[in-house]
Structure formats: structure tokens, C-alpha cells
Structure 1
């Protein structure tokens, strides 16, 4: 999945989305903090290609986008909205192709603005980024070409606290960054950070009223944090490969950012620091059992503000979950199979 796949709905229930064969499955709590339901297929019987994308709006609704086969060597993008995790999602609806027709061009990414409109980003055949925006009262605007060159898979779309959508990408020239200058406007390329980046390691998080922070791993293996308009800061050596997951949370009365990543040793590594104060330093602490190589980690907070972490191992279908204990510090409950 591209995007956060452990989410909290507007009713406080947690849900998990996973790609399974030619479908997307969802599991959810039967009530906040309660037992979990079994997996249910999202969006009907439409067959999908792997690696769908997710985005969640301030209204708690989840937007999903995926490629579907439309013919020999041909694919198109489809969209679904899931209003409540314990209810059926809308059926997959075709939304087109960035080049009008052709095969898959890259992994999509989704962000949802303050008005609840989904913004879909995907590479086009020219190596740049194309965007599709949902209309506020239904339907979609035309595809727009945002530019870019040699853009790699693993786009990171994020909505700032202002409700405006932003996009980060990686390419041969570094990290291009696009931002909406007004609600509903086309994101504009603001700057490109000249930095060597490992492909597939981008993760973006809203960290203040004015800023979003991009986390990425450099080619030297160091995990860096960058806020556009400033210089990147090296946080610590990446615990493993792939992107981190991050969440803002209250730790003993302090606004902190918690990072998680599958470590090279196969366990989940956590690191926390005061939000936007990278100079305070951070260090990894490992937790839980050894995971499969394909395991991914996701973070959120529950309706009580407690951190929740989940790991998903697609190769063995294993979902593990833990929460922060209701006590000072960052002590976690024992990991349990869901």
C-alpha cells in the first residue's frame, strides 16, 4: 500500500487495509478498542493490480486508488471511498489514465484536502507527475501535468494543517516539492532539494500549522528530515530499508513525533523526538518479534490519543498490533496477533 494503511475513522474505530492478490481487503474494530472483524473486500469484485494507494481526509473518510487491467497491455485507474470501516465501501469507479490510455505508469498516491476532495498523483509516460482532482460536488477535474523529470515510484502526498495538498517525489535531480498556493488550486513546483535519495523511502507528515516534514533515507543510509525552505537535517541512521512511518502524538505533555521502521534485524524500531526539533536527537529502540522481510509498519493514535502500531506481513498474512500503555513514557503493550 502507498500511504498510511492503519487508520482511525471518525467513529474512533481503527481499520487496516491490505492488498491481497487482485483485491484490497479491510479489517476493522467492531468498536473502539474492541475485537476485530474478519477481512472484507473493498469496492466490489473489480480485479485490481497490486500496490493501491490510500489517503484519509479530516472527515475520516478513506479514499483508495488502484490500477485495474482494462485489456491486453492496458490499464486504468479506479477510485473508491470508504465512509465507515464497518460498512461496505463504494464500488470502484474508473477515473482514467494520465496519458489517456496505456499500461501502468507508476504507483499512485492520494491526499485529501480540507473540503474532502481526493487528489490523485501518478507518474506519466514522460517521467513527470500528473494529477487528478475530485470535484467538491462529484465528478473529477481533467488530468493536469505538474511537470517533473525522471520521477521515481514512491510519491509522498500529504495534506498540511492548512488543508492544502502537497507532494514530494524523488528523481535524478533530487527531491522536487509541489504545493497548492490556494485551496483547490493546482499544486505548483516550489523547489527541488539537491540530495541523493534512496528510491522508495519517502514519507511526509504535517508537523505544524506552516510546515510539513519529509523523511527520506539518503544513499549513505542516513535518515533525514526536510522542511521546504530550509536545509535537511540528519536524524539518525535508518533502522532498515523502505520508508519510515510517522505520527505526531502527546508524550507526557510534549508534542512529539514518533517514527517506526522495520529494522535490519527484523523487528520494529521506534524513535521519538520533540516535533520539528531534530537537534534534540533521536535513537532507535527495537520491539516485538522478528518479522518477515516484506513486513511493513504503520502508526496512528486511537480515540484516547494513545499511539497504536501495526505490522503487516503479506507473505504469511500476519497482522500484529500494539498500543502505548496508559502510563508515563513510551512503554508498549505486548504485541498481539489480530
Structure 2
């Protein structure tokens, strides 16, 4: 799954999205901080490929994007909007293929601007990056080729200052950053940097009112942070091989960024540091039980602004949650099975 799949809705309830065979399921708290409902299938009986991108706008609506098979040997992207955790998401809406038709070209990413419009990004058949955005008048604008070449792994999309959409992608020997110059404007390459990033490890977060930060694992196994306009900074050794989850929050009165990753030992590793102050350093602290090798981790803030972490294994379907306690630092409550 691409993006934080644990999100908080407008009513304060947390919800999660999970892949289940040829479907996507969602679960939600019945009340904020209370018990969770049973998994529900999204979009009826449509069959999907096992891929999901999740994005959320300032209106707290969730936007989901996946691939579905169309005719033999071909696939198309589909989109759904989830307005409230306890409501059913909208049915899957076809949004087409970046090359008109063909099979899957890469895993998608989605970001939502301040007008609530989803922007879907995916590698196209030529190896570049394509985007399709919802129209202000309803429906979808045409596909746009953002150029680039040899995109590796899924891109990382995020809404930054003023809701301007940004997207990062790994290419051989480097990273590329596209950004809207103006809200609702077109995206253009803003900057590129030479560094080897492991595909599938990119996660972008708005870490201040002015900047977004891309977190990724480099070829030496270091978790790095990059803000365009500066050089990437190695923060600490990656805890494990998979993607990192990240959330901006307040810890003990300070603006901080919390990171989480499944460690090589199988547990969830957490680190926190003052937002955009990478020279201060960070260190991992492991928590919870040993998880299956396919387990993924996601972070969000609950209705009280506390950090919540979720761990989910597609093979077992088990959902585990923990929440920050009132103790100083990043103290976490015991993990609970939902």
C-alpha cells in the first residue's frame, strides 16, 4: 500500500484500509477511541489487483486508487472517495490508463489539494510519470505526461503549502521532485538530486507550512530526509527493508516528526525528532510483538492529537494498534489486537 492507510475522519474516528485478495476492505472505530467494526468490502464485487494508494485532503476525506483488470491482458485505474469512516465509500470509478490502454504500468500515488481534488500519479508505459486530476467542475481532467524517465517504484505524493500538490519519484541514480507553482496549476519538475534511493521506500510528508520532506532508504541502508533546495541528509540507519511511515505532531510542546518502520527483527521501530532539524539526530526504539514479514506500519493522529500506530499483515489480516500515552516522550500503550 502506498501512503498512510490509517487515517482520521472528520468525525474523529480512525479508519484503516487493507488489501484482501482481489478486494480492498475498510474498518473504522465505532466511536473515537472505542471498539472497531468488522472489515467491509469497498466498491461492491469489482475485482482489483493487489495494490492500493491512499491520500487524504484537508477536508479529511479519504481518496483510494487501485488497478482493476478490464479485458484480458489490460487494466485500468479506479478511484473511490470515503467521506466518513462509518459510511460506505463511493463505488470504484474508472479513471482510465495513462497510455489509453494496456496493462499495469506501476503502482499509483494520490494527493489531495485544498479544494478536495484528488491528483493521481503513476508511471506510464514510456517510463515517465503521468497524472490525472479531478476537475473543479466535476469529473476528471485529461491525463498529463509530466515527463521524466525510468521511474523506479511507486512515487510519493503530498500536498504542501497552500494545498499545492507535489510528487517525488526515484530514477536510476537520483530523485526527482515535481511541484505546482500555483494552487490548481500545472506540475513541473522543480528539482532533481543525485542519490540512489531504494524503490518502494519513499514517503513524503508536509513537515512545516513551507516545506515537504521526502523520507527514503539509500543504497547503504540509511534512512534519509530530503527537502528540495538542500541536499539529502542521512538521519539514521534504516530499521528494516520496507517503507517508513511518518507523521508530524506535537510532542511535549515541540513540533516533531515521528517515524515508524518494521524492523529487521520483526517488531515496529519508532523514532522522533524536531521537525526539519535532522542534525539533532534520532534513534530507533522497538515496540510490540514480532510481526509477519509482510506486515506494514502506518501512523496517524487520533481525535485528541495523540500519535497512533497501526500494524497490519495482509497474510493474517490481523490489525494491531497502539497509542501514545500521557507520559513524556514517545511512550506507547501496549499493543492491542482489533
When normalised by structure 2's length, the TM-score is: 0.99
* Distance apart, 1:329 and its partner CA: 2.0
Residue equivalent to 1:118 = 118
Alpha-carbon separation, structure 1, partners of 2:84 and 2:154 = 27
Map Cα deviations across residues 220-271 of structure 1 (whole Å, 9 max, x no partner).
0111101001011110000001111011111110111110000000000001
8 Å CA contact retained: 2:173, 2:197: no
Residue 132 of structure 2 contacts residue 143 of structure 2 at CA under 8 Å; is this kept in 1?
A: yes
1:199 matched residue in structure 2: 199
Instruction: Please state if 1:147 is matched with 2:147.
Output: yes
Structure 1 CA distance for aligned equivalents of residues 175 and 242 of structure 2: 16
**Contact 1:260 1:297 (C-alpha < 8 Å) held by counterparts:** yes
Cα distance between partner residues in 1 of 2:25 and 2:40:
5
| Uncovered stretches (5+) of structure 2, i.e. residues with no partner | none
Cα RMSD, aligned residues only: 0.8
Does the 8 Å contact 1:300/1:307 carry over to 2?
A: yes
Counterpart check, 1:302 vs 2:302: yes
DSSP-derived class of the 1:132 partner: strand
Who is 1:76 aligned against?
A: 76
Cα pair 2:248 2:257 within 8 Å, conserved: yes
- Deviation of 1:191 (Å): 1.2
> Any residues of structure 2 matched to 1:166-181 within 5 Å, and which?
166-181=166-181
Pairs within 5 Å for 1:87-236: 87-236=87-236
**For 1:154 and 1:287, how far apart are their aligned partners in 2?**
28
Q: How far off its partner does 1:317 sit?
A: 1.1
- Aligned position for 1:245: 245
Contact 1:116 1:136 survives alignment (8 Å): no
Please say if 1:42 is aligned against 2:26.
no
Report the alpha carbon displacement of residue 328 of structure 1 after superposing the two structures with TM. 2.0
- Please state whether the residue corresponding to 2:291 is helix, strand or coil: coil
**SS state at 1:162 partner:** helix
Structure 1 unaligned regions, length at least 5: none
Secondary structure of the 1:170 match is strand
Kindly indicate whether the alpha-carbon contact (under 8 Å) linking 1:17 and 1:26 is maintained by their aligned counterparts in 2. yes
Superposed displacement of residue 19, structure 1: 0.8
What is the CA–CA distance in structure 2 between the aligned matches of 1:159 and 1:242, rounded to whole Å?
23
Matched, 1:268 2:239: no
| d(CA) in 2 for partners of 1:111, 1:275 | 21
The structural deviation recorded for 1:327 is 2.5
| Alpha-carbon contact 2:224-2:234 (below 8 Å) kept | yes
* Total equivalences in the alignment: 338
Give the C-alpha shift of residue 161 in structure 1: 3.4
